Amino acid sequence: MFKRLTTDTFNWILIIGVVLFIFEIAFFHGGTIVSALFSGLFVYIGWKYFNKLWGKILFWLSLISFVLAVLNILAVRFFIIALIILFMINYSKSKKVAKHFEPILPGEEIKQEMLVEIKPLFDHTFFDDLKTEESSYQWRDINIHGAFGDRVIDLSNTVLPNDTAVISIRHLVGNIEIYVPYEVEVSISHSSVFGRVHILGQHHWKLLNKTILYQTENYDSAQPRVKIITSLFSGDLEVRRV
């Protein structure tokens, strides 16, 4: 279904959803949205203390409250209705349009480029902590996003390539820790709404809706090097040498 969805159609659905989201905040004071945010916060607290009885109770009650609050948001209801309509339209089209097969003539070559699928270091998770392996591991560029939890990247247990390694993390609530060996040059671009930053001895104790950029002195001319791009809504970033 999503393969047949055009970019324009997706953009219109997204725009209408955003308009409904703003409309609910402006005229209904965002009641259900605030409830969803608070429920999400309690879900995170319950998950962190899930090993305790009160944590389990808090997690499941908050999760039910979160789901109900989300389903009451106008934009979410619109996306569900749009999804059902798109499914019905695409199903109707698939019944009318027959598959088209092209015969391969004798002697005709099919040139297909060989690709190798590489497994990423991390899978996307919304309610869990992520940490690189404590033993040696093969480096792959990191491009992840999440909602709650901490992210710990230790580059001392891997061998970086002879060009630029990339770490890109987009996160909602939680802390990010990145450990970089002394011989590696570093470039850091970090944006945050609330939080603190500790980068190689430089400290920002109160970061409020701000973007900061740092790079080591020989980053443009020396290798290996790592480019770090992080984005947080609320949380701390720490980059230090190991």
Over 90: is that where the pLDDT of 167 sits?
A: yes
pLDDT at 38 > cutoff 70 = yes
Mean pLDDT on 6-22: 75
Confidence of residue 213 (pLDDT cuts 50, 70, 90): very high
Q: Does the structure show a pLDDT above 80 at 141?
A: yes
Q: How many CB atoms lie within 10 A of CB 190?
A: 23
**Which residues touch 236 (CB under 8 Å, ≥6 apart)?**
175, 176, 195, 196, 197, 198
Type of residue found at 76: V
User: SS in 3 state form for 139-178?
Assistant: CCCEEEECCECCEEEEHHHCCCCCCEEEEEEEEEECCEEE
Q: Strands, DSSP E only, in 74-149?
A: 130-131, 142-145
73-77, 152-156, 216-220: which has the minimum mean pLDDT? 73-77
More reliable by pLDDT, 27 or 82: 82
State CA 71 to chain mean position distance: 22
What is the signed CA dihedral for 184, 187, 192, 198, rounded to 10 degrees? 40
User: Percent of the chain scored above 70 by pLDDT?
Assistant: 83
Quick check: 177 pLDDT over 90?
yes
- d(C-alpha 46, C-alpha 27), whole Å: 32
11 residue type, one letter = N
- 3-class DSSP assignment, residue 45: helix
pLDDT at position 100 is 54
Do residues 219 and 172 make contact, with C-beta atoms less than 8 angstroms apart? no
Task: Name the residue with higher pLDDT: 94 or 219.
Answer: 219
Question: Per DSSP, what are the bridge partners of residue 191?
Answer: 211, 231
183-192 tens-digit pLDDT: 999 999 999 9
Provide the whole-model pTM.
0.57
Q: pLDDT by residue (tens digit) across 65-78? A: 888 888 888 888 88
Instruction: Please give the residue that has the higher pLDDT: either 7 or 236.
Output: 236
Position with higher pLDDT, 124 vs 230:
230
Q: Which residues contact 148 (CB under 8 A, 6 or more apart)?
A: 40, 43, 44, 47, 126, 127, 172, 173, 174
Angle, in degrees to the nearest 10, between helices 7-28 and 74-96: 160
**Residues 83, 5: Cα–Cα separation, whole Å:** 11
- 49, 43 contact by CB (below 8 A): no
Q: What CA–CA distance (Å, rounded) separates 110 from 137?
A: 37
236 vs 6, which has greater pLDDT? 236
Q: Is the pLDDT of residue 123 over 80?
A: no
pLDDT of residue 166: 93
Examine the pLDDT at 108 and tell me if it is beyond 60: no
DSSP letter at 2? G
Q: Domain residues of the chain, as ranges?
A: 2-96, 130-241
Mean pLDDT of the chain: 82
Number of C-beta neighbours around residue 77 at 10 A: 14
Query: What does the pLDDT read at residue 129?
Result: 76
